[in-house]
Amino acid sequence: MSLESIVVRRMSEGDLEAVAELIARLKSLNEELDPNFKVVEDLDKVVREYLEMSLKSDRVVVLVAEDEGNRLIAGVVRFELVDRLFYEPRLQAVITDLYVRPQYRRKRLGRLLVEKALDEARRMGAGIVTVVYPAGNRIADSFYTKMGFVELNKELYKPCKE
């Protein structure tokens, strides 16, 4: 596989099933990496609804990398625009999901998806792009650091039940 056969474009309704499969894989992988990310029982249904809402929102972008040779969605990136209210730049794009099929990894497809997301976020007026993923994901740490991302916030948690 070379990136020459890959086209990055906005997700369409016709991509829903293929993209839902990738997002479900991502969320299941998060659970494997950290048991604090226990997926819901009806994950497939929830992912489908999440993507349907994403498609309808003017503040969410889902980009897919399609391998035109295989007619296969090879990867996906999703971001949403957030108003930072108190800080400049006000408009922030938050990458919430990035997944590349195993057979397409280590071929710079993840980098291509993030670069296209950065371009689209910039075009939509975002002045900053952040990414969220489980704290224990060392692969993501390395990937995003190599792309020039730096730590901005810390998020800690404590279960409500004792």
Q: Model pTM?
A: 0.94
- Sheet holding 72-83: strands in order across? 6-10, 60-67, 72-83, 91-100, 128-131
Give a yes or no: residue 159 inside a domain.
no
* Residue range 130-140, pLDDT digits in tens: 999 998 899 99
Give a yes or no: residue 151 inside a domain.
no
Beta-bridged to residue 72, according to DSSP, are 67
The CATH number linked to 64 is 3.40.630.30
* Residue range 16-72, pLDDT digits in tens: 999 999 999 999 999 998 888 999 999 999 999 999 999 999 999 999 999 987 889
Give a yes or no: residue 50 inside a domain.
yes
What's the total number of domains in the chain?
A: 1
Give a yes or no: residue 161 inside a domain.
no
Give a yes or no: residue 90 inside a domain.
yes
Give a yes or no: residue 162 inside a domain.
no
Whether the predicted pLDDT of 144 surpasses 90: yes
